[in-house]
A and B are shown apart, each in its own frame.
Chain A
């Protein structure tokens, strides 16, 4: 799985945060292991064979909390299926 956080809701905007979870066990990822993003934008990930399976919705701003910032807003989950020997 590849999780990309983009700078807007558009897939062709810049990656600002990211996470990798490798279910094949071939790669070991952890927090802080990569200072440069794996792709420049979400679109670059699509072009490299990752399949988009979920995108965060655009949510109305709660009255009274319009200016509060908390979690990263533009989260995109990608998957890639690979052959393994099991």
Chain B
């Protein structure tokens, strides 16, 4: 398997997602779409889901099942999670023995299924409920076919994952600077921290849009599960601040202190602090700092 490297993990810590474009081969994409079945032309969104549940095309699996026992060998999703890049990303993020939380097949229907009532985008939300843990679950979003701009692919806001909010309480925020919309080739995966703000777009195309989401939970401390052999020896060394001369920042430090377009002036700095704390958690090293953000406020003598 191919584990993530340190810069990929730091990017996940800072932005809350990793995207792998067209990582799933076409034969697995085709198999998946055949397994779940097509949307009947004369149906409704409700009848399609009713058919899907009745047919059992998506396996019914209890929460807490080990991932290794969740999908039948040879099924499309079993093949997908055992691809070297995918298995490596899962192990890097939630360890070697993650448990299955739930999965769901999200089908976004085109306008003709709504009897003249144009479809609306899903409000922005954070999944599940208030979750202030340092440990994190990962949600894998699988796009088995090409997603065009008209299809209203999943919208998400990089860097929001460390914000402690309560599910749909953030639905008033219609648009946020820096939001991204999934437009991708078939077989693309999005690995998301469970806290990232997101929502489904309205499908304005002529074709149904499929997205399969799997939530996985760790069963071990998430420290240095990725391939950290690329971390330089001076990774913990502090750089000059502001007056830096010609010296570039260390890559990990630069990633952790790169702002998002939606950052507020003051809380953008708190985001840096929280990213650095998260990176300390992932490293298992409470001495790490970038730009002196945490050292400065921890410098108290009693």
Interface positions of A (Cβ within 8 A of B): 3, 5-8, 13, 15-20, 28-35, 37, 67-74
State whether the Cβ of B265 lies closer than 8 Å to any Cβ in chain A. Answer: yes
Q: How far is the CB of A57 from chain B (nearest CB, A)?
A: 15
A16/B121 contact (C-beta < 8 A), A32-B181, A69-B163, A70-B164 known: no
Q: Can you list, as one digit per residue, whether each of B167-207 has a CB less than 8 Å from chain A (1) or not (0)? A: 00111111111010100000000000000000101100000
A67 touches B270 (CB 8 A): yes
Q: A32 and B201: CB pair below 8 A?
A: yes
Alpha-carbon distance between A6 and B265 when the two chains are bound, in angstroms: 9
- With contact pairs A69-B164, A70-B165 given, residues A32 and B121 touching in the complex (Cβ less than 8 Å): yes
Counting chain B residues whose Cβ lies within 8 A of the other chain, the interface size class is 35 or more
Mostly, the A contact residues are loop
Give chain B's interface residues, CB within 8 Å of chain A.
Answer: 118, 120-124, 132, 152, 155, 162-165, 169-177, 179, 181, 199, 201-202, 261-268, 270-271, 273-274
**Closest B residue by C-beta to A15:** B177
Pairs across A and B, CB under 8 Å, 9 listed:
A3-B172, A8-B266, A30-B202, A31-B155, A31-B171, A34-B174, A70-B165, A71-B170, A72-B264
In the complex, what residues of B have CB within 8 A of residue A67's CB?
A: 270, 273-274
Minimal Cβ-Cβ distance residue in A for B271:
A69
Contact B174 A33 (CB under 8 A): yes
What A residues does B265 contact at CB under 8 A? 7-8, 13
Given A15-B177, A17-B176, A18-B174, also A74-B264 (CB < 8 A): yes
Evaluate contact between B271 and A30: CB separation under 8 angstroms: no
Residues of B within 8 A of A6 (CB): 264
A17 contacts B175, C-beta separation under 8 Å: yes
**Cβ of A35: which chain B residues have Cβ within 8 Å of it?**
175, 179, 181
Note all chain A residues with C-beta closer than 8 A to B266: 8, 73
Chain B residue at minimum C-beta to C-beta distance from A8: B265
Nearest 3 pairs of A and B residues by beta carbon? A19-B174, A32-B155, A17-B176
Q: Which of B124, B172, B173, B267 contacts A69 (CB 8 A)?
A: B267
Q: Are A32 and B174 in contact (CB under 8 A)?
A: yes
Note all chain B residues with C-beta closer than 8 A to A33. Answer: 121, 174-175
Q: Is the CB of B177 within 8 A of A17?
A: yes
Considering the chains assembled together, what is the distance between the CA atoms of A24 and B199 in angstroms?
26
Contact call B270/A30, Cβ cutoff below 8 A: no
Chain B residues, CB < 8 A from A18:
174-175
A33 to B118, CA, bound (A): 14
- Establish whether residues A34 and B175, one from each chain, have CB atoms under 8 Å apart when the complex forms: yes
Taking a contact as CB atoms under 8 Å apart, the answer to whether B174 and A16 are in contact is no
